[in-house]
Structure 1
Amino acid sequence: MKDGAVSAMKGVASGVSPQLKLYDVTHEIPAYDIWEASYRLVQTAPYWPIGTVFVSVVDPGVGTDRKSVVLLSKSGHYFVTPDNGTLTLIAEQLGIQEVREINEAENRRKNSGESYTFHGRDVYAFTAARLAAKVITLAEVGPKLPNQVVTIPYQKASFDKNEVTGAIPILDIQYGNVWTNIDKKIFNQLNVNIGDNLKVRILRNNEKIYEGTVRYVNTFGEVQEGENVGYFNSLLHFSLGINMGNFSEKYSVYSGNQWSIVLSK
């Protein structure tokens, strides 16, 4: 949103078909943060209609030999992106129905062959628009690839020896709340009730950053202002916050595949 890049991509798509409906997911992902791109896709895609085409361009390897692909998920959504880890969570949570490598000889904006640093405009927006407008079929995108993509390693949620372990994939950035990948099914193995206290340990690359106790509640208003809480967010994943405060800033806790969390009674 800071320059003309987004508008240029929308212009390319509109040039394929003015009837296309174009929407924004986000343009606020930190530079080069492939992991956050992966999370924002899986956070968003399930709420869009089957057949929606997503374009994701967080591409520090632009112009190199990393593949440009279109993935069709088992949920029926299309993702046009570099295969650089961006599809980690889509592949895992929505499943892979088919993957095609973009054939740039056929699916690249006309007269853009000498440009190597803006594939979002020249390849991804153009291919996605052609696919969404039904100018091409998925088979015409390019050669079929095995149903696998480049993935980013991270801590999966699990229960073992009276502890629940998970990752901190993202922050609720507006408020500084800390979101985890721990769902209720795994969390409930702790046998914790609303109002109970939880022990929390947070690590970055296995180095302890925070250790403390939070109260497990349904919502922030159940505690005093400034009190730490544990709760389930709108995606039904365990999260940490402070009523009318910023947990992330207060404790220097951030997010990404290198961050993990351990919960116990």
Structure 2
Amino acid sequence: MATVPIITLTTDFGAGSTYPAQMKGVILSIAPHARVIDITHDVPPQDVLEGALALEAAVPAFPAGTIHVAIVDPGVGSQRLAIAVHTDLGVFVGPDNGLFELVLRTADLRNAVALDRPAYHRALVAPTFHGRDIFAPVAAHLANGAGLDVVGSAIGTLTRLPIPEARRVGVEVHGEVLTADRFGNLITSIRTADLAEWDMPSLEVIVGGAASAVMGRTYADVPVGELIAYLGSSGRLEVGVREGNALRQLGAGRGTGVIVKPG
């Protein structure tokens, strides 16, 4: 039985807007057999880093060969390129603004193209809605079997997105909060690999220079209302509150410092 192509959508359009539905309509008009899955449409407006983090978390759950369309595009209509990138994880279609930075760091990049072939776009391209008029139809043509070399011209470099990284400072690991999930758990720039050589139960995690969290495996390792740090499903160090909200309790946000040190 032939495999049904999967196309995912990640945008900042808002789940309550018609924009995602317009994109799906274009995709299904060209590739009616495609399966279209929403990752999220609730990326904060114009927040490219937040979009990159959403892709980093979600893409590994999908089969290789999935076509991932992502639009968080404050530069729409400018000189920024529209691109498609082929990797071992799948194909990524969207703006060349660093949105795919995090997933590409762990992928085997095979080739990338600028989407400069109007035959694979909608007949009329709105300068403010490339998601519907360029990215959606290109994804649909890819789902129908078109190669990257058909829908665009090869490019050698992609725009990078500066993303804070963890760093060693003496016996400590320093990082910062990148985002928070809907439960108020803080997701940091410190990756699981940054702590690989440490004895986890003995570590102390300091947030914002004051609040201290113990390391644990699950929220149940601390009493209700207490802080806990743990290696989250995102592959990053996270800080939460059992049955609470660390974002509100700590008044933390993107850029708040996080230090891991021996307890």
Deviation at 1:31, TM superposition (A): 0.5
Question: Does residue 227 of the first structure (1) align with residue 241 of the second (2)?
Answer: no
The 3 A distance-change label for structure 1 pair 123 and 233 is same
Q: Secondary structure at the match of 2:119?
A: coil
Contact 1:154 1:167 in 2 (8 A): no
1:145 aligns with 2:159: no
Partners in 1 of 2:73 and 2:128 — Cα distance? 9
Residue 108 (1) aligns with residue 92 (2): no
Q: Deviations over 1:64-96 (max 9, x none)?
A: 1100000112x2410100001202112212242
2:167 matches 1:154: no
Contact 1:199/1:214 (<8 A) preserved: yes
Contact 1:52 1:78 in 2 (8 A): yes
Cα-to-partner distance string for 1:22-68 (whole Å, 9 max, x where unaligned): 11010110110111111111211111111110111111111111000
Determine the C-alpha separation between the residues in 2 that align with 1:119 and 1:199: 43
Q: How many residues align?
A: 248
13, 30, 47: which is aligned to 1:16? 30
**How do residues 155-170 of structure 1 correspond to structure 2 at under 5 angstroms?**
155-170=164-179
**In structure 2, how many angstroms separate the alpha carbons of the residues matched to 1:183 and 1:121?**
35
TM-aligned CA deviation for residue 259 of structure 1: 5.0
Are the counterparts in 2 of residues 200 and 211 from structure 1 also a CA contact under 8 Å? Answer: yes
Whole-angstrom distance in 2 between the partners of 1:201 and 1:56? 32
Given that 2:205 and 2:258 are in contact with CA atoms closer than 8 Å, whether structure 1 keeps it comes out as no
Deviation at 1:260, TM superposition (A): 4.5
Given the superposition, is the C-alpha separation of residues 63 and 259 from structure 1 closer, same or farther in structure 2, using an over 3 Å criterion?
Answer: farther
The 1:35–1:184 alpha-carbon spacing in structure 2 relative to 1, beyond 3 Å, is closer
TM-score after normalising by structure 1: 0.87
Q: 1:237 aligned to 2:236?
A: yes
1:62 and 1:117 in contact (8 A); partners too: yes
Show structure 2 runs of 5+ residues with no match.
Answer: 1-14
Identity %, equivalent residues? 26
Partner of 1:263: 260
Residue type at the aligned position of 1:200: I
Report the residue type matching 1:7 in the other structure: A
Secondary structure class of the residue paired with 1:106:
helix
1:70 aligns with 2:69: no
Structure 1 residue 233: Cα displacement: 1.0
